[in-house]
Amino acid sequence: MYRRLFAVLLMTLVPVLALAADRVRPAAVAGSWYPNDPAELGAYLDRTLEAAPSWSPPEGEHVQALIAPHAGYPYSGATAAAGYRALRGQAFDRVVLLGPSHHAGFRGVAIGDVDAYATPLGPVALDAAAVERLRGAPLVGTGPAGPDREHSLEIQLPFLQRALAPGWRLVPILVGRLEPEDYGALADAIRPLLDARTLVVVSTDFTHYGARFGYLPFPADPEAAARLEALDKGALAQIEARDPKGFLDYQERTGITICGFRPVALLLHLLSPDTRAHLIRYDTSGALLGDWRSSVSYLSIALTVPKQAAGPLAWQPESLQWLHRLAALRVADAVAPTAASGAALAAHLATLPTPVLEPAGAFVTLRRAGRLRGCIGYIGPIKPVWEAVLDNAEAAALRDHRFRPVQPDELDELDVEVSVLTEPVEIPDWTGFEVGHHGIVLAKDGRRAVFLPDVAVEQGWDREQTLSHLARKAGLPPDAWREGAQYLVFTNHKHRGALRAVIADPRGLARTAEVGPVESSGSRP
């Protein structure tokens, strides 16, 4: 909440801290690829977004990424609008934009040395902190962003400006040549940025067909349209399967001329296992012009994750399992310290994976025979998540005032649970709280209480019952939640397993439990 407030305050300063002209990337293709007049451009975008077919994510899902075309608006604008309409009015803090470099050759990715990108609708400020972090990663350089012919990033910006709620900042990543081993390294660098308030957009057209593109896998006859669609849908199938290797193999095998195939493959490395791809619109310039001698394909593809899993994409199974192991080792060392327990903990801390360096709220919950034995945590992202888990594991074992400290003879019977929380966001009133999906913080009259997402589910409470118990937990009357209270909500990702399984596996080779992205550690009401 505080970071969000700071970001809003900072945005109010941008007009005052006028950007130097040489630090703003001018619009390079306005007036040719799309209208240069702000009023004309705004009217076009409004009209095209309104005319686009209405598509919404499946119940309980959230758009995390979008693949959109980048041809001139007369050709691909309607297809792009179909994807952006699904995001209309939504609020994000950050947009990570991936597009191919059509004109400059380089290995890796490049982020222009600028503070903002200009469009006729106004400047789009970069997320300076995120950009600075990425520039310290391998394969990330400072590349072309100036007034050149490159359009892949720029063409998306007016749609983003018009469709999204204001307040977001840009991370513009121009993708050059990538070797097979580069994708994983770049994904590791980008993934920590991908929290629930970050949208990823990949800018790409699909098949460029015809002699002018040097690609004629079949004749330009009446069957060309169906064959072209089948070719494009073959690539789509690899995206739906979240298979970056399969996608690259398909490109190599067919020669399909997808100009942004590398940004797409990079996106596939970033996606969580529960991501689903949805084709919103498919079109071709051949169909638009009635000429199949030359055609470019345009697809709008939304990629969704469950709402309860829409927290950091960084919290994939490996990261959560690492944190779970850290918590179990810390509990064991705090309760029954030995040279061996200390060495095991130190060895694990020597392998800090990049995602756990990010700040995040986190809880550690201990259970014995299914009954709560300790639960301590931080709601907000006040420190790197590995530190939060380290602190809370010891506190849950020794300093939860509701229970006596855990004893050494209990260790073999303990289950350890780690929950990583999304950053709490304020909601206008209690009606925005969804039982089973949200954790919730209630604050009123200087008192405060929190329930994690599964408390209501475990107790069998509906929304009003949950809020009444939450008010009592805060030391307030049971109906105090109805008026005058403030609310924050959050979701979480969880990993759970037996402590003895961790201790019995000193090298950390075995999985301790299944990861539950929709689950939450319990907090006693």
Q: Mind listing the pLDDT tens digit for each residue in 93-143?
A: 899 999 999 998 899 999 988 999 999 999 999 999 889 889 888 899 876
* Predicted local distance difference test score (pLDDT) of residue 267: 97
Rounded to the nearest angstrom, the gap between the alpha carbon of residue 18 and the centroid of all alpha carbons in its chain is 30
For the beta sheet containing 425-427, the strands, ordered from the edge strand earlier in sequence to the opposite edge, are: 425-427, 486-490, 439-444, 447-451
Q: Residue 34 corresponds to which tokens in the numbers above?
A: 């799309």
Distance CA 9, CA 197 (A): 18
Q: What is the mean pLDDT of residues 416-441?
A: 87
Q: How confident is the model at residue 254 (pLDDT cuts 50, 70, 90)?
A: very high
Q: How confident is the model at residue 518 (pLDDT cuts 50, 70, 90)?
A: very low
30-78 residue pLDDT tens: 999 999 999 999 999 999 999 999 999 998 888 999 999 999 999 999 9
* Predicted local distance difference test score (pLDDT) of residue 10: 36
Considering only CA atoms, which of 281, 278, 310, 265 is closest in space to residue 92? 310
Q: How confident is the model at residue 169 (pLDDT cuts 50, 70, 90)?
A: very high
Q: How confident is the model at residue 381 (pLDDT cuts 50, 70, 90)?
A: confident
* Predicted local distance difference test score (pLDDT) of residue 199: 95
* Predicted local distance difference test score (pLDDT) of residue 318: 77
Q: How confident is the model at residue 230 (pLDDT cuts 50, 70, 90)?
A: very high
- Helix/strand/coil percent split, the chain, to 5: 40, 25, 35
CATH 3.40.830.10: which residues of the chain? 2-306
Assessment of whether the complete model's pTM goes beyond 0.85: no
Q: What is the CATH number of domain 317-516?
A: 3.30.700.20
Q: What is the CATH number of domain 2-306?
A: 3.40.830.10
* Predicted local distance difference test score (pLDDT) of residue 310: 43
Express as a percent the part of the chain with pLDDT over 70: 89
* Predicted local distance difference test score (pLDDT) of residue 172: 96
Q: How confident is the model at residue 221 (pLDDT cuts 50, 70, 90)?
A: confident
Considering only CA atoms, which of 327, 259, 271, 350 is closest in space to residue 299? 259
Q: Residue 387 corresponds to which tokens in the numbers above?
A: 């530190």
503-517 residue pLDDT tens: 887 555 444 444 333
Residue 311 pLDDT exceeds 80: no
Q: What is the mean pLDDT of residues 149-173?
A: 94
Q: State which H helix or E strand residue 199 sits in.
A: strand 198-203
Distance CA 52, CA 258 (A): 24
* Predicted local distance difference test score (pLDDT) of residue 249: 96
Q: Residue 92 corresponds to which tokens in the numbers above?
A: 């994000």
To the nearest whole number, what is the mean pLDDT of the chain? 87
* Predicted local distance difference test score (pLDDT) of residue 20: 54
* Predicted local distance difference test score (pLDDT) of residue 521: 33
Range in 99-103, 148-152, 290-294, 388-392 the model is least confident about: 148-152
What is the distance in angstroms between the CA of the first residue and the CA of the last residue of the chain?
Answer: 24
Express as a percent the part of the chain with pLDDT over 90: 64
443-493 residue pLDDT tens: 999 999 999 887 888 888 999 999 999 999 999 999 999 999 999 988 888
CATH 3.30.700.20: which residues of the chain? 317-516
* Predicted local distance difference test score (pLDDT) of residue 174: 95
Q: What is the mean pLDDT of residues 195-199?
A: 84
Residue 255 pLDDT exceeds 70: yes
